[in-house]
């Protein structure tokens, strides 16, 4: 019965199937159908039910970002060893920060939806249900706080490596945006809890637009998704690949102080090196040419007066001369 219900709803794709049709086709009462739908939901099928319209399948359990799905063929030592999965939450970063002290390094908080997803400086991050990857990785490196911002670059390098290995052609807009066809598909928010000499924990928040086809008006000019650009890849595969890429680069940095691989990826896939861009800081805006990303992970730029200077991440925002990038 359960398989038949799934088959009928699945064949109907984006359309609703009414309870009446299901009960007629399957020869059982509507109450019995409802019971089956309830237990399918408990198994992880995301089935929408709308009064007078019926049922519609939004997400199969194989696509949900659960530990069961992600851990299959995941070859990491500690990233993703534990995954706490929510259907909805305010913000995975806020939740991770609340409980970070009791968590093992590498624990991941992941949610199908965020109702108060956030970007840097209190900006909003749109995180619609089942349409993207909204997750936070808890890290507890034995480093001085000064070395923490480089972890944003490690995250950017691992997202780009993972997505490009799966077939996309993404770029990094230093320090924390991932770009596809000149629009933003992903953002990183690194939050640090530290004492002067010691990091307590870092919460590395990653948001990736995967399936979104329609963005709200405020961001429709600057945002895109993998599906929208015709890269139809599985969210589970993306997460698993990011964990593997990230762990390798992160361990190299923390254990061996080796930044080379990360910097090479950030340079090779940079959306801004060699270009003229605007740096924005408060009300001021300056046109500069991007030359490089240096050993510290800072952006090296040349001003109009030919002065070469370094910009630290977090100091400024960057815009292209014609628009977002």
Binding site for ligand BT5 (CB under 6 A): 91-93, 114, 117-120, 123-127, 134-136, 176-177, 184, 187-189, 205-207, 209, 219, 222-223
What distance, in Å, lies between the first and last C-alpha atoms of the chain?
A: 52
Is the C-alpha dihedral spanning 90, 96, 101, 104 positive or negative? positive
Q: Which long-range contacts (CB under 8 A, 24 or more apart) does 248-257 make?
A: 249/154, 249/157, 249/158, 250/79, 250/139, 250/141, 250/151, 250/154, 251/77, 253/150, 253/151, 253/154, 254/141, 254/142, 254/143
Strands 284-293 and 276-281: antiparallel
175 preceded by cis ω (within 30°)? yes
Q: Is 114 annotated as a binding residue?
A: yes
Q: Mapping DSSP to helix (H, G, I), strand (E, B) and coil, where does residue 293 land?
A: strand
CA distance 174 to 168: 19
Q: How many residues does the chain have?
A: 325
Comparing CB distances to ligand BT5, the nearer of 115 and 255 is: 115
Report which residue's Cβ sits closest to ligand BT5.
187
Beta strand 83-86 pairing with 108-111 = parallel
Cα–Cα distance, 12 to 205 (Å, whole number): 36
Shortest spacing between CB 257 and ligand BT5, in angstroms: 27
Structure tokens at 190: 């690194």
The one-character DSSP state at 52 is T
Q: Smallest distance, Å, CB 207 to ligand BT5?
A: 3
Q: Are 307 and 204 in contact (CB under 8 A)?
A: no
DSSP 298: P
How many whole angstroms from its chain centre is CA 15?
Answer: 29
81 labeled part of a ligand binding site: no
List the beta bridge partners of residue 172: 178, 270
217 is in an annotated binding site: no
Which is nearer to ligand BT5, 206 or 254 (by Cβ)?
A: 206
Residues annotated in a binding site for biotin: 91-93, 114, 184
Residues at the annotated binding site?
91-93, 114, 184
């Amino acid at each position: 019965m359960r398989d038949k219900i799934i088959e009928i709803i699945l064949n109907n794709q984006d359309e609703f199937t009414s309870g009446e049709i299901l009960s007629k086709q399957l020869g059982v009462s509507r109450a019995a159908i409802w019971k089956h739908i309830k237990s399918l939901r408990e198994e992880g099928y995301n089935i929408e039910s709308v009064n007078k319209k019926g049922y519609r399948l939004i997400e199969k359990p194989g696509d949900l970002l659960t530990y069961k799905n992600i851990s299959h063929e995941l070859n990491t030592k500690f990233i993703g060893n534990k995954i706490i999965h929510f259907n909805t939450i305010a913000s995975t970063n806020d939740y991770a920060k609340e409980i970070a002290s009791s968590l093992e390094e590498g624990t991941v908080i992941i949610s199908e939806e965020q109702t108060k997803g956030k970007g840097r400086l209190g900006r909003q991050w749109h995180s619609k249900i089942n349409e993207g990857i909204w997750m936070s990785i808890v890290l507890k490196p034995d480093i001085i706080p000064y070395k923490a911002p480089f972890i944003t670059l490690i995250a950017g390098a691992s997202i780009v490596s993972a997505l490009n290995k799966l077939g996309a052609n993404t770029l990094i807009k230093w320090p924390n945006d991932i770009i596809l066809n000149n629009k933003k598909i992903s953002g990183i928010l690194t939050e640090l809890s530290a004492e002067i000499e010691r990091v307590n924990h870092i919460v590395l928040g990653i948001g990736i637009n995967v399936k979104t086809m329609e963005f709200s008006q405020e961001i429709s000019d600057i945002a895109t998704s993998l599906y929208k650009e015709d890269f139809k890849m599985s969210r589970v595969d993306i997460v698993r690949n990011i964990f593997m890429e990230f762990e390798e680069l992160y361990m190299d940095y923390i254990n061996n102080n080796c930044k080379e691989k990360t910097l090479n990826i950030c340079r090779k896939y940079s959306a801004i090196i060699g270009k003229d861009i605007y740096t924005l800081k408060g009300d001021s805006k300056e046109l500069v040419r991007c030359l490089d990303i240096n050993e510290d992970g800072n952006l090296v730029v040349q001003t109009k007066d030919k002065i070469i200077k370094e910009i630290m991440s977090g100091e400024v925002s960057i815009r292209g001369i014609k628009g977002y990038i």
